[in-house]
Chain A
Amino acid sequence: MAAETDEIFDRIEQWQNAGKGVALATVMRTWGSSPRPAGSHLAVDETGAFCGSVSGGCIEGAVIAEAKAAIADGRPRRLEFGVSDEQAWEVGLACGGRVEVYVERVE
C-alpha cells in the first residue's frame, strides 16, 4: 500500500505545484465482491487526469466527473455505487459489489 500511496500523494503535490485544482476520492466501505478495499485512493486533477483506483476501473469515470465538480465548488461528496442502484449499474460495477466513495477537494 505504501508505494501506491506515495505515488498518489506525490502526484497531488505535483499537480498543486503546477497550479492545478485537485480532488481525492477514497473508498469508505465495501459490500460483496468489490475489487478495492476501504482506504483505496483515486486522485484527480481539474483536467480529469487521474492516479490510483477505487475499483477495477468500473466506476472511475463517474468518480472522476464528481471529483471535477468537487474541485469546482469545493463541496465534499459521498457517492454510492452498487447493483441496487439503476444508475450505478449503468456505470458498471459488473462484479456485483457495492462501494461507498468519499470525494473531497485538496486545498
Chain B
Amino acid sequence: MKADIFHRLQAARRARSSCALVTRIADGVQALVVAGNVTGELVLAPAQLEEIAARLLAESSGPLASDDGLFVRVYAQPARLLVVGAVHISQCLAPMAAMAGYAVTVIDPRRAFANTERFPDVALCDEWPDEAMARLVPDGQTAVVTLTHDPKLDDPALVAALASPAFYIGALGSRRTHAKRVERLIEQGVDPGQIARIHAPVGLDLGGRSPAEIAVAALAQIIQVRHRHDL
C-alpha cells in the first residue's frame, strides 16, 4: 500500500467518511474511493465503480463480481448509539458499545451526571434530548436507548426516535412503567404502530440485574436487531 493511499485512508476514517480500498491482487496496484472520488494508480470502469458503491452501502468486502482479480475492502461509517441518560448503566454501556464498533453519544442535560469524570473518552451532549435528537438526526444506522427513568427526559427522546428510521429503539423500565409510557405517548399523538417499535423492557432477557448486566443485555439486543433480520 502506497503511503499516499494509506494517508488518504486514515484521513477518510478520521472524518468518518465511508470509503473503499480496491486492490488488484496480481500486482498490488490500488485505488481508494471516497465519496465517489477515486485516487490511486488503479483505473476502474464505471460499472466497477457502481458495484463498489453498492458494496459500500451493503458493507460487504470481497472480490468484485465483475472481476475477481480485484478485491474491495469496504470501510463503512460506524453505526451510532445514542444513549439518553448519563446514568450508571450508561457508564457500562458506552465503553462496551464502543468496543463493539458503535460511535456512542451520551445525552443528558444534567451536568452532575454527564461529565468527563464519570464518562472518560465518551462523547457527551448536555442538550435536552429533543434538541439533541434534532441535531444528531438518527438514521437507519442509529440505535437509541433511553435510560433516565424520567419521562421529562425519556419521552421527548422517544418521540423523536419514533419519528426517525432508527434501526433500534429501547427504553428502560418495567412492563408497568412501559404501559404508562405507552399511554403518555398515545396522548401526545404518537401512532400506536410506531410505539410498538420500542423494545421495553430494554434488552434481551438474560436475568441479570446489575448495571453492567443490563448494559450487556441492551447491547446484545441491539446487535441482534442489527444483524438478525429474520427475528
Contacts and interface: CB of A to CB of B under 8 A. Distances in A.
Contact of A38 (B61, B76, B99, B103): B61
A3 B102 CA distance: 7
Interface string B1-25: 1110010011001000000000101
B63 A76 contact: no
Contacts of A107: 1-3, 6
A3 B28 contact: no
Contact of B1 (A3, A24, A28, A75): A24
A76 B75 CA distance: 21
Contacts of A26: 71, 73
Interface residues of B, number: 30
Nearest to B23: A102
A39 B51 CA distance: 17
A106 interface: yes
A2 B63 CA distance: 21
Nearest to A75: B28
B101 interface: yes
B98 A3 contact: yes
Contacts of B74: 39
Contact of B99 (A3, A28, A76): A3
A9 interface: yes
Contacts of B13: 5-6, 9
Interface residues of A, number: 24
Interface string A65-107: 0000000000110100000000000000000000000101111
Contacts of A78: 25
A9 B101 contact: no
B3 A28 contact: no
B140 interface: no
B67 to A, nearest CB: 13
Contacts of B2: 107
Interface in B53-89: 59-63, 71, 73-79
A39 B6 contact: no
18 contacts: A1-B76, A1-B101, A2-B101, A2-B102, A2-B103, A3-B100, A3-B101, A5-B13, A5-B75, A12-B6, A24-B1, A26-B73, A29-B63, A37-B61, A38-B62, A102-B25, A106-B1, A107-B1
User: Nearest 8 A-B pairs (CB), nearest first?
Assistant: A39-B61, A2-B78, A76-B28, A107-B3, A38-B62, A2-B101, A38-B61, A3-B101
